Structure 1
Amino acid sequence: MTNDRRVLIHNDKSALAASIAARFLTKVVDLLDEQDRVNIVLEGGRVALDVLTQINANPARDTVDWSRVHFWWGDERYVPAGHEDRNDAKARTALLDHIAIPASNIHPMPSTDSGLEIGAAAEAYASELTDHADGDGSLPRFDITFLGVGPDGHTASLFPDHPQVLEKSSLVLPVTDSPKPPAERLTLTRPALNSSQRIWVEIAGAEKASSLGLALAGAAYSEVPIAGIKGRRRTVFFVDREAAAEVPENLIAQSY
Structure 2
Amino acid sequence: MTTDMRHAVVDVLEDADAVAMKMAELFIKVVKEKPAGKVRIALSGGSTPKKLFTILARPEIAGQVDWSRVELFYGDERYVPDGHADSNHASARELLLSKVSIPAGQVHPMPTETTAVEDAARYQTSLQKAYGADTLEAGRPLFDIVMLGLGTDGHTASLFPGEAVLDEKKAWVGVSAPKTAPHERLTLTYPAIASSALVVFLVTGENKVPMLARLRQGDGSIPSGRIVSEGKILILADRAAAGELS
Secondary structure of the residue aligned to 2:170 is coil
Residue deviations 1:169-214, cap 9 Å, x none?
11111123442112x1111111111111100110001111111101
* Partner residue, 1:95: 96
CA distance in 2 between partners of 1:24 and 1:133 (Å): 20
CA distance in 1 between partners of 2:240 and 2:105 (Å): 39
- After superposition, residues 34-53 of structure 1 pair within 5 angstroms as 34-53=35-54
* Partner residue, 1:218: 218
* Partner residue, 2:10: 7
The alpha-carbon deviation at position 133 of structure 1 amounts to: 1.4
* Partner residue, 1:86: 87
Cα RMSD, aligned residues only: 1.8
CA distance in 2 between partners of 1:218 and 1:118 (Å): 30
Runs of 4+ in structure 1 deviating by more than 6 angstroms, as ranges, are: none
**Identical aligned pairs, as a percentage?**
37
Q: TM-score, normalization: structure 1?
A: 0.88
Answer yes or no: is the 8 Å Cα contact 2:155–2:223 preserved in 1. Answer: yes
Answer yes or no: is the 8 Å Cα contact 2:160–2:178 preserved in 1. Answer: no
Equivalenced residues, count: 240
Q: Where does structure 1 lack aligned partners over 5 or more consecutive residues? A: none
Aligned amino acid, residue 16 of structure 1: V
- After superposition, residues 66-85 of structure 1 pair within 5 angstroms as 66-85=67-86
- After superposition, residues 21-170 of structure 1 pair within 5 angstroms as 21-31=24-34, 34-57=35-58, 59-111=60-112, 114=113, 116-134=114-132, 137-138=135-136, 141-170=142-171
Aligned amino acid, residue 133 of structure 1: Y
Q: TM-score, normalization: structure 2?
A: 0.91
CA distance in 2 between partners of 1:118 and 1:189 (Å): 14
The alpha-carbon deviation at position 95 of structure 1 amounts to: 0.8
Q: Where does structure 2 lack aligned partners over 5 or more consecutive residues? A: none
The alpha-carbon deviation at position 61 of structure 1 amounts to: 1.6
Answer yes or no: is the 8 Å Cα contact 1:53–1:95 preserved in 2. Answer: yes
